[in-house]
């Protein structure tokens, strides 16, 4: 079973790396999934991920502090909502539409109320200018 976790983690890592370069594909959720999968599958892979630059840049704060920048939250929510709405249009099944609506609602609630919003450095700079 550990090999399955490593395979899913590697696929997720590749999608996360691609997302770092393509603005339409979010990086953070794929890297969070990678960290989870590697944590379940292999301590070696998990340790390598945690010590990498991509981890430190995109998801370290999210994992340790449960905080994301407003930009990260918005990109994530727009991407999930966009994909869900596309599938709602494609599939005319009311059950699928209901489930996808709940997924969107769940993401909005989770990222709106349970994940803290980290202040961006530019916002801090503007607040210092006001004082």
For the ranges 13-22, 38-47, 118-127, the lowest mean pLDDT is seen at 118-127
Average pLDDT along the chain:
81
Token digits for 124? Answer: 């801090």
**Where does the pLDDT of residue 8 fall: very low under 50, low under 70, confident under 90, or very high at 90 and above?**
very high
Whether the Cβ atoms of residue 111 and residue 73 lie closer than 8 Å to each other: yes
Entry pTM: 0.58
If one compares 59 and 37, the residue with the highest pLDDT of the two is 37
Cα 122–chain centre separation: 22
Over residues 23-58, the pLDDT tens digits come to 666 777 788 888 889 999 999 998 898 888 878 877
- Cβ–Cβ under 8 Å, residues 111 and 81: no
């Amino acid at each position: 079973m550990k090999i399955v976790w490593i395979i899913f983690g590697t696929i997720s890592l590749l999608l996360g790396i691609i997302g770092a370069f393509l603005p339409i594909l979010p990086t953070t959720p794929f890297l969070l999934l990678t960290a989870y999968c590697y944590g379940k599958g292999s301590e070696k892979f998990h340790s390598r991920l945690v010590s990498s630059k991509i981890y430190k840049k995109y998801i370290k704060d999210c994992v340790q502090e449960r905080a994301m920048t407003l930009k990260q939250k918005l990109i994530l929510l727009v991407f999930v909502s966009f994909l869900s709405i596309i599938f709602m249009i494609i599939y005319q099944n009311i059950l699928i539409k209901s489930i996808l609506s709940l997924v969107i609602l769940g993401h909005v609630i989770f990222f709106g109320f349970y994940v803290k919003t980290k202040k961006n450095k530019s916002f801090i700079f503007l607040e210092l200018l006001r004082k």
